[in-house]
Amino acid sequence: MKGRSFLVVCALAARAALAAAAPAPAPGVSIDPPPGWSDVTGKTRVRGVILALKGPESSSFLVAKMPASALESAAATRAFLTRALEQLRAGARMDFRSNGRVETRVLRSGVTLRFLRADLDGAPRLIVAALDAGGPPFLATLTSAAPDAMMGPLFGALKLGAAAGAVRDSGFAASLDGQFLIALGGGLRSRDLTPDEKRQGAVLSIEGAGSEVLFLKVEDDDASPKDQAAIVRAIVADAAKTSLDAVSPARRAATPAGPAAAYAWARIPSSPDLRFSAGFLPWAYWGYSIMGRGPQADELLVGALAALKPGPSSVAKLLEATPRLDIPEDMSRRRRLALLAFVSGVLSLALIVWSRGRKNANLPS
């Protein structure tokens, strides 16, 4: 690739992004450059480029603002990326060739990439991508002798400037372990977890209708699948400070990923407009405890599970082997008492997480 191509790509990426973008303060975007790459953002002097990296030989990675309208539909995204590619081809005077197919990839960070690949002289050389992290979208271009190999170290390492507690309402929210994704929109939003919540084992927070559900990873659960229905009912009774008779029967909530959860809920007597819900989602050989609070905590829990899909780190064969939960109507008092120690441990962990994260959670008191 010609030596001048780096600055040409910088200029054209910015031009394509700014063609329809309204003036706005540049959102924060940062990255820890991989080995062999250096941050040259301050040297580009090209309006609109908010991140620029220079790599080995003439490779480059650019990020610029782009109009939100380009993500309104698949056709709009394809037209925008195609136009950006055409401007790059014309301005750099390089015969980049693409089959025009827009691919989609969801990164472990929850960022959705919609991108075109382009070859130069028959070899892969360029990726033009729209980045959707639920906030303002970005245009990114990657030129490299090995663009596929560099996608993870570059796109996957981007930090799109979301502060702790920031809320996203479009795209996908990914669990921190990459095991599952939840499609946002239709009333579902995701809140970034605080450092304390992460240390306590929370992997995802979903909000909607003034309610919130937290997913906490459980890797050392010795409880039998047939006991989980009773456990979630006991957790609800303890958390809501109500009798077990006031807790709903345990119900099953399906997921498009395959595993189904058991959940229950109850009104909080001290705050009749609030509900507390609890669930357990088996997942391969571990699981996730789900805690919900708010006026529609039960419906939000079910809605989040209905929008849940396998994530980039999930393994299909392990998901297929996930045990099915039994949902009996009731169990003996003796058996319930035997589970109380386990229940109190799970509940105390969840309440610790909530008490430290409530200031960012937008929940009613």
Beta-carbon count within 10 A of 269 CB: 12
| Residues 240, 116 share a domain | no
Q: What is the CATH number of the domain that holds 54?
A: 3.40.1000
Q: Domain check: are 233 and 201 in the same one?
A: yes
Q: Is the pLDDT of residue 329 over 80?
A: no
Sheet holding 308-310, edge to edge: 172-174, 180-183, 308-310
Same structural domain, 257 and 338: yes
* pLDDT confidence tier of residue 182, bands split at 50, 70 and 90: very high
pLDDT band at 351 (very low <50, low <70, confident <90, very high): low
Is residue 100 domain-resident? yes
In a domain, 318, yes or no: yes
Are 294 and 195 in the same domain? yes
pLDDT by residue (tens digit) across 9-26?
A: 444 444 444 443 333 334
Are 250 and 179 part of one and the same domain?
A: yes
pLDDT of residue 224: 78
**pLDDT band per the 50, 70, 90 thresholds, residue 45:** low
Which domain covers residue 115, as residue numbers?
5-155
Average pLDDT, the chain: 79
How far is 184 from 110, CA to CA, in rounded Å?
Answer: 11
Q: Which of 224, 212, 229 is nearest to 350 (CA)?
A: 212
pLDDT band at 347 (very low <50, low <70, confident <90, very high): low
Number of domains in the chain: 2
Query: Measured between alpha carbons, how far is 257 from 314 in angstroms, rounded to an integer?
Result: 10
The pLDDT assigned to 102 comes to 93
Give the phi and the psi of residue 283 in degrees, each rounded to 5.
-150, 105
Q: Is 14 in the same domain as 109?
A: yes
**CATH code assigned at 214:** 2.60.120.1690
What pLDDT does 134 receive? 66
| Maximum alpha-carbon separation in the chain | 78
* pLDDT value of residue 287: 92
